[in-house]
Structure 1
Amino acid sequence: MNRDALFAIFEKHCGAEWQQTEPVALSAWETVEALWPLNEYFRPNYQAFRSLQYSSAFEGKADEALTSFAINGAWGLVSVETWRVILERQQQAITALPLHEISGGKPWVFVPPTLPDTALTAAAVLVVLHGMKLPFPVADRASYEPSLKPQG
């Protein structure tokens, strides 16, 4: 998690008073919904990275790209190897979050109650994907087709 960037997002969207509010937890499904729009970025180039092997050497670059996206709303220049790391993190997160909640786990994402819906993706990216340790073995994504809408 990039705490400094997360707090900057809160300050930008809620003002300094966000610190005086009681945070609200996002459910697993709300967090999945917040991460789902990343598919919009995977879709145009997924042919290039869907079968690329995951390389932990690009995890630091993935964290930099995720922070840039959350703070600036833009990815900057991102290598195909870095995209592969971001894709794997997002896919594992949208699998792990509901499983964690179903098994009685506590929520991962807490936000100020005044944070607008438009900022939830940035918050979820910084809390869940930034620095994420993969909970499952890396998957072969050769047949992955990113959907623009959650199923279910």
Structure 2
Amino acid sequence: MRTQLFRAYIEKAIGHRMEESELVYLTGDEAAEALLTLTGRFAKNIAQIRSIPYNSSFEKEADAIIESEVLRNTDWSAASAEAWRVLLERLSQALMVAQLNQFHQKPLIPIPEDLPADAWTSAAMIFLMYDMKLPFPLTDKSDFSFPMRTVPGSLTRQ
């Protein structure tokens, strides 16, 4: 299902079949930067979300939220608190996967070269968070906070 959703989203974003474009790869850093844009969604209620125990029975709801966003441009406002917790765990683990791939200098997410940069977040969300089998053990998130976004080197004064 993830592959079908990924293809549907990408083809909607570029306006043609993926095979008509050359594939390039997002690096771990590029994927992490794209995913970090999602952290603002959690900011207002992070204390409540991180206090909820992870419950795998809400994984399908989390997938439905991601699918609805990328295909119909809906937001996450109708999500249950438990689905928010699943999304938080997936996001934190997806960020770890991205950074590990970057550390090992492995390409991460195949995308068409003509996929606009503003579509990278949704592409990364589908590729790493949709139908995610958690690669790391669950941890207590009661004191979890997202890393602060830093200014990319290309934007800093030399």
Structure 2: distance between partners of 1:10 and 1:95: 24
Q: After the TM superposition, which parts of structure 1 deviate over 4 Å for at least 4 consecutive aligned residues?
A: none
Structure 2 residue 78 is matched with structure 1 residue 92: no
Counterpart for residue 7 of structure 1: 7
Aligned length: 151
> Residues 29 and 102 of structure 2 are in contact (CA less than 8 Å); yes or no, is this contact kept in structure 1?
no
Counterpart for residue 29 of structure 1: 29
Counterpart for residue 16 of structure 1: 16
Equivalent pairs: percent with the same residue? 34
What CA deviation, in whole Å up to 9, does each residue of 1:64-122 have, x standing for no partner? 11111222332351001001001001101111222234346x43311111111111011
**Gapped runs of 5+ residues in structure 1?**
none
User: TM-score, structure 2 length as denominator?
Assistant: 0.85
Structure 1: distance between partners of 2:110 and 2:104: 19
> Residues 54 and 82 of structure 2 are in contact (CA less than 8 Å); yes or no, is this contact kept in structure 1?
yes
What CA deviation, in whole Å up to 9, does each residue of 1:107-148 have, x standing for no partner? 331111111111101111111100111111111111123456
CA distance 1:128–1:150, change in 2 (3 Å)? farther
> Residues 43 and 145 of structure 1 are in contact (CA less than 8 Å); yes or no, is this contact kept in structure 2?
no
Structure 2: distance between partners of 1:110 and 1:132: 17
Deviation at 1:150, TM superposition (A): 4.7
> Residues 92 and 136 of structure 1 are in contact (CA less than 8 Å); yes or no, is this contact kept in structure 2?
yes
Counterpart for residue 156 of structure 2: none
Counterpart for residue 57 of structure 2: 57
User: TM-score, structure 1 length as denominator?
Assistant: 0.88
Deviation at 1:57, TM superposition (A): 0.7
Q: How does 1:65-144 map to 2 (within 5 A)?
A: 65-76=65-76, 77-103=78-104, 106-144=106-144
CA RMSD, Structure 1 to Structure 2 (Å):
2.0
> Residues 90 and 129 of structure 1 are in contact (CA less than 8 Å); yes or no, is this contact kept in structure 2?
yes
